[in-house]
Chain A
Amino acid sequence: MIVTAHRLRSIGWIALLAICAALVMVLAFRVNALRSQVHHAEMKIVALRQEKMYLETEFETRANQQQLKAWNDVEFGYVAPTAGQYLENERQLAALSKPVEPDAPEPIRVASADDAVVAQAAFPAMVSPLSGKPLGAEADEDKPKAEKIDHAKAAASLGERLAKVDRGDDATVKPRIRQLVAKDGDDSVKSARKAKPAKDTKQAKADSKDKPAKVATRKDKPVDKPSAKPSAKVASATKSPVAKKPAAAGKREVKATK
């Protein structure tokens, strides 16, 4: 009996030793597995960094100075900012928000709504390849002329149109454009007049929503709006600063991209 107990004890020790050895082995395997996982992860990181480097290099090559210059010459026509585009100090910045006074220099327009900009978006649906005039415009030459679409001007105002804040009630704007396009060749004075009430209600809506500062800038606009509306000729006759601006901007841009 004693012998058995003794033997049992030694078997127990052996078993314990075996279990410990097994555990150590399991642990060692686990450590090795983890280590190899780390190594794999590292290799992956290296591979990804290399990949990133390739892509970066490709990007840098495709967008190198000479390439950008070539694109700018052909496509964009960006020019370096001029002195007029810099603000010296807070005083100059504050002067921008003042209402326009008589004999004041041209104000800087805000990017928000100006109907003339939207009206310019109305490209003719089709231009006659012979005369270069919108189809339908040739037929009734004697009628009051449709606002001539100046492509250079329209392209110049693209930035402004893109910068226009989309207020969600786009539905009112889009049909209007469509309407204008459909009525292409028609008297733009008429279409503009039609479009006006829709705009005013939109403006009112927006005003009620907007911050007080912005309201102030927009409030002074309707004053010269009726004169700005009808056509480019009338606008230049009344010398409205708001209506004059896009034409001037267009000219400057064309000059710059030459």
Chain B
Amino acid sequence: MNALTASAAIASGRVQLANVRQRSLVTAKVRALWVLLLFVFATLTALVRIGQLGLFEDAPERRSMAEALLPPRGEITDRNGVVLARAFPSYSLWFNPKALGEGGSALVKTPEEVAKALMTIFPDADYADLVERLKSDKPSYLRKRVLPEEANKVFALGEPALEFPRENQRYYPQGSLAAHVLGYVDEAGEGHVGMEQVLQQRLLDPAQRGQPFALSIDARAQGALEDELSRGMLESNAKGAAGVVLDSDTGEVIALASLPSFNPNRSDRAFNGLVFNRVTNQVYELGSVMKPVTVASALDAGVIGDMSVRYPAAQLHIGRFTIHDSHNFGASLNVPEALIHSSNIVTAQVADKLGGPALRSTMMALHMNERPGIELPARGFPIWPKGDWARITTMTVSYGHGMAVSPLHLASAYAALVNGGVWRPATLFKVAPDKVPEGQRVFKASTSARLRQLLRMIVVDGTGKKADAPGFRVGGKTGSAEKPGSGGYRKTSLIATFAAAFPMDKPRYVVIAMLDEPQGTQATSFQRTAAWNAAPVVGRVVPRIGPLLGVVPDATRDVDISDLSPLIGNGEGE
């Protein structure tokens, strides 16, 4: 029994032992499984993370050389590769009030002291504004575009709150040169006004922005034109000035200036009246400079067969209007004399003989009834007499009144007058020699040749004497138009224009200079008319730009005017 109980006890103990063993085995297995699961989980997590990194995360930034050198916005250069606009990482001065941690003063010194120290570095800054910014707890720009040496000086102040982030900005090394052609780029990176706006897509396109974009502008000619225009503007105390140099054979704009100008580097200040482009956007009644166009149209139509035919020069009464000249030029004038003295009366008679429809179609062929053909966004719409032209309209248009066009219209028309009679749209893109547009024929080549003689004669013997740069064979026409005001034309507010081309024996460039409301000053011999202010500008611009543009001055050459010169007497006109 004992043995039985004992054996039973042993047996039960064994069973129990076996149970224990089994249980601990199971526990161990379960624990091993947990560990395994843990490992599997970790592995899976790692794999998922790797997958996530590989598939969705961006690679660490390791840009190739080409990418690193690609500018954020393409360069704009002139026709010879002089950089006019470039993306430039420059320092700016940023005030970060949290630089010294939250709470407490943002600056080591007082804001007044710091502002004073900044004033010594940037004398043009606004002290009150600086103090206000430094006192506020909002971060802000204290200044954009800081020079490295200025940045060093600010750094030496020892204020951690003054930071110098490097930011990509648009920089114009030539300052205000060709500002109206280039335009400017605002804070958001949008181009405005000029080619910055036109070429926005091209300048940002990653495939193309590595290559600089060449304009037709020549920076040297542009500089000379702006320089001489501003001199003319100051000398005559004019409100503004405009000028353009156009390649008469291709339509390329070599220089285009509208004064007063603006500095595109200060885009924050750029949006004001100065961005207005007087060359392409403003339309003027340009006056007598239109007379050669009328004469060319009449020559082309065969209305002027004989240059020696004389027209009466007495005042013309058409209905309630009277057409008169600036001076009395005698009883009669022939066409060369009419141009040399700038006679409205004779031009009106020529136009009357020619007829409205013919003059109108010439003007339309010169695209005077639409916006100027150029890429710039700022293009003014001409004031164009509607419908069929009345007799008086034809007559006034013939000497440049009753129709208002931009100086660029005039430049393109003069190019057609002298280049053999072909009109081409003006362009700011550099044109390859084999890609010159064919253009539209407006005048016969013979008409153009005649006009070259006439324009040269105006400069040799007539109102354009002051534009006669020695050796450059300049030909051109003055125009002094009274500005329309309330109650008719204002006698003292003129638009003085000189439209010229050189060298006249083989014209290559058209030069237009225009002054807005010039005054009679000592420098202009107390005269307001173009002969005394706009013509001298052209006379000074041509010798400066001629040699640069490949026109060799030569005193031994000239266009032959011997067949016309016996027809003229002498005298001065408008």
Q: Which residues of A contact B (CB under 8 A)?
A: 39, 42-43, 45-46, 49-50, 53-54, 56-57, 60-61, 64-66, 68-69, 80-84, 86, 88
Contacts and interface: CB of A to CB of B under 8 A. Distances in A.
B69 A46 contact: yes
Nearest to A67: B175
Contacts of B174: 60, 64-66
Contact of A80 (B171, B219, B223, B543): B543
Contacts of A45: 65
B156 interface: no
Interface stretch (B195-203, B338-346, B552-560): B552-560
A60 B265 CA distance: 14
Given A64-B174, A64-B177, A66-B223, A80 B470 contact: no
B65 A60 contact: no
Contacts of B312: none
B569 interface: no
A65 B470 contact: no
A42 B554 CA distance: 54
Interface string B536-574: 000000011011000011111000000000000000000
B554 A88 contact: yes
B471 interface: yes
Contacts of A83: 470-471, 553-555
B69 A86 contact: no
B357 interface: no
B65 A46 contact: yes
A61 B86 CA distance: 12
Contacts of B83: 56-57, 60
Nearest to B65: A42
B496 to A, nearest CB: 24
Contact of A86 (B62, B177, B552): B552
B495 to A, nearest CB: 27
A74 to B, nearest CB: 14
A54 B86 CA distance: 11
B173 interface: yes
Interface residues of B, number: 33
Interface string B64-93: 110011000000000000110010110000
Interface string B169-182: 00101111100000
Interface of A is mostly: helix
Residue of A49, A56, A61, A88 most packed against chain B (CB within 10 A): A61
Residue of B83, B174, B177 most packed against chain A (CB within 10 A): B174
Given A42-B64, A50-B89, A64-B174, 16 more contacts: A46-B65, A49-B69, A53-B86, A57-B83, A64-B173, A64-B175, A65-B174, A65-B222, A65-B223, A65-B226, A65-B227, A69-B223, A69-B227, A82-B470, A82-B553, A83-B553
Contacts of A60: 82-83, 173-174
A242 to B, nearest CB: 24
Interface of B: 62, 64-65, 68-69, 82-83, 86, 88-89, 171, 173-177, 219-220, 222-223, 226-227, 470-471, 543-544, 546-547, 552-556
A61 B265 CA distance: 12
A46 B68 contact: yes
A88 to B, nearest CB: 7
Contacts of B68: 42-43, 46
A39 B68 CA distance: 12
A254 B107 CA distance: 58
Given A60-B83, A65-B220, A81 B553 contact: yes
16 contacts: A45-B65, A54-B88, A57-B171, A64-B177, A65-B220, A65-B223, A65-B226, A66-B223, A66-B227, A69-B223, A81-B553, A82-B470, A82-B543, A83-B470, A86-B553, A88-B554
B182 to A, nearest CB: 13
A88 B543 contact: no
A57 B556 contact: no
Nearest to B148: A54
A38 to B, nearest CB: 10
A2 to B, nearest CB: 43
Contacts of B89: 50
A50 B552 CA distance: 40
Contacts of B555: 83-84
B171 A66 contact: no
Given A57-B88, A80-B543, A81-B553, A66 B175 contact: yes
B471 A80 contact: no
A80 B62 CA distance: 52
A84 B68 CA distance: 52
Nearest to A81: B547
Contacts of B556: 88
A46 B63 CA distance: 11
A64 to B, nearest CB: 5
Contacts of B547: 80-81
Contacts of B69: 46, 49
A101 B427 CA distance: 54
A134 to B, nearest CB: 39
A239 B228 CA distance: 39
A88 B556 CA distance: 10
B172 to A, nearest CB: 9
B471 A57 contact: no
A148 B11 CA distance: 146
A96 B503 CA distance: 27
